[in-house]
Amino acid sequence: MKVTLSHIHKRFGAVHANNDISINVEGGTIFGLLGENGAGKSTLMKVLSGFFAADSGEIKLNDQVVSLSSPADALEKGIGMLHQDPLDVPPMRLLENFMMGVRGFLQPRRTAESSFRELCQAFDFDLDPHAFVHDLSVGERQQLEIVRLLWLGVETLILDEPTTGISAPQKEKLFATLHQLAADGKSIIFVSHKLEDVEVLCSEVAVLRQGVLVGQQNAPIDPAGLVKMMFVQEVNLEERLNVDLGSTFLQVQDATMSDLRLKMEGVTLDVKAGEVIGLAGLEGSGQQLLMQACAGLHRIDKGAIVVGGQTLSGRPYQEWLNAGVAFMPADRMAEGLVPGLSIAEHHVLTRYRRDQEQDKKTIDWPLFRKHSQEKITEFNIKGFVDSTVESLSGGNQQRALLSLLPKKLRLLIMEHPTRGLDIESVLYIWGKLLKRRQDGTAIIFSSADLDEVFQYSDRIVVCFGGQITAVLNTSETSVEQLGYLIAGKQPPADLREENV
């Protein structure tokens, strides 16, 4: 299906999110849309998918002008969008979420389940239709939304950061499927900050900057040219400085931990002050369970977790906070931020108890508005003191979440800290994180991006099947070795010898 956007304008108050944007996506092609966070990509795609109405401009499908008044209306016309934060209902089962839509509940459950299993098999997604969505990882929730949209018969598929949080084999299968869908005449719009994904996947790429279309490229893609269009100047990866590590701050001692889907036994890990530990593994291998246990959010079944010399396993969560432990979840809107509250109100929630006397009953709003503005400036958040967090782009939500962390931290644990962020934001945020490292903060993080794991980790902990299968010094490890270990296999002897 051919898609044409002509002279699209969209404002949110003083912010001109889309300023006279015109693009054309031919049927049978994969069209890339790039831009830093807040550039207007998601707004433009929400206009196309019926979530927002454009202030002016028109949309054509196969050269026919259409009016899209809602997401359901867009779906009926064959346009579906996979959002960066999937739209699902966590208390419901996967099959029930799968059946939601224009035609979903008109189908017999047995027929829908059969279709669900066929699509999952085609994508190599390991999803149980009878499991509950709230038990899924972020990557698995994305997978659920992909198969649902395809089942609803979309002819134009919009994907907003779809490779974030899925494994390398799943990404390869996804790309192969997108190529096949394009070969069948569907139009694919691929919104991403990962230049390497756009380079190998897309036949044409458009770049937005500050709400304006600044340029386009046809394949073969020139990554350096795209970066220059996105950021005006080239963004260079700074060399990571080594720091002297302090004494052991976190000890996981022969711990057993479990949830409804997974059990990890005999887990032992020591982390020193100032050390950065990267967790690598396929989704559901135990990284999330381990991090939640180390943050005091999941009670272990056996063993002990010692933080700063104190055994905190089994202790109230407040004691973990008092010890200087903080956790940043992958799903920032469901677990990290409060929809409906402004940036200033978030700073009141996180800082009022520390900054005000215990018996004080009033909130010093001028003080906290000033403090919030300082944080907006410090973290380069594209928003205002009174902006609600859901009105921010994904990258700016992540920056807002980082701005809420206390100044003094001993241990920071993060799930996918740069998920969905552009290159400039990734470098900016890791710059902030590594400054904490220089001050002695230990960092544990998980990431589906192996380049990120290698760039920032002192050691890499590999999880597979609910076990820690390897603890590697990054300087003595290669990407090839790590790939074998993530898949549950030992690297060939020649790869092991390369790093001896």
Predicted pLDDT at 246: 92
Q: State pLDDT tens for residues 177-234.
A: 899 889 988 999 999 867 778 888 999 999 998 899 999 999 888 877 887 787 654 4
Do 201 and 243 lie in a common domain?
no
> Does residue 330 form part of some domain?
no
> Does residue 30 form part of some domain?
yes
Do 315 and 364 lie in a common domain?
no
> Does residue 332 form part of some domain?
no
Do 26 and 77 lie in a common domain?
yes
CATH of the domain at 197: 3.40.50.300
- Run means of pLDDT, 10 residues per run, the chain, 500 residues: 95 87 95 83 93 95 93 91 81 91 70 92 87 82 86 90 68 84 91 82 91 92 79 53 88 93 91 96 85 96 96 95 93 90 92 52 85 92 92 86 91 88 79 90 89 91 90 87 76 59
> Does residue 329 form part of some domain?
no
Q: Which of 405, 425, 459 is the last residue of a domain?
A: 405
Q: How many domains, in total, are found in the chain?
A: 3
Stated as kind and residue range, the H or E segment containing 181 is helix 168-183
Strands (E), 318-399: 325-328
Do 467 and 450 lie in a common domain?
yes
Strands (E), 161-297: 187-191, 204-209, 212-218, 248-258, 263-272, 276-280
Q: pTM here?
A: 0.62
Predicted pLDDT at 198: 87
Q: State pLDDT tens for residues 162-189.
A: 876 566 666 787 888 899 889 988 999 9
Predicted pLDDT at 496: 55
Do 227 and 266 lie in a common domain?
no
Helix or strand or coil: residue 413? strand
Do 462 and 374 lie in a common domain?
no
Q: Which of 231, 261, 288 is the last residue of a domain?
A: 231
Stated as kind and residue range, the H or E segment containing 157 is strand 156-160
What residues make up the domain containing 348? 338-405
Do 48 and 173 lie in a common domain?
yes
Do 50 and 174 lie in a common domain?
yes
Do 309 and 253 lie in a common domain?
yes
Predicted pLDDT at 356: 44
Instruction: Determine if residue 284 is left, alpha or beta; phi over 0 gives left, psi from -120 to 50 gives alpha, anything else beta.
Output: left
Q: Which of 201, 231, 261 is the last residue of a domain?
A: 231
> Does residue 456 form part of some domain?
yes
The CB density around residue 121, as the number of other CB atoms within 10 Å, is: 10
> Does residue 184 form part of some domain?
yes
Predicted pLDDT at 48: 96
Do 245 and 283 lie in a common domain?
yes
The single residue listed with the structure tokens 């019926």 is 50
Do 315 and 434 lie in a common domain?
yes
What are the strands of the beta sheet with 263-272, ordered from one edge? 263-272, 248-258, 302-307, 310-311
**β-strand 204-209 against 30-34: which pairing, if any?**
parallel
Do 369 and 257 lie in a common domain?
no
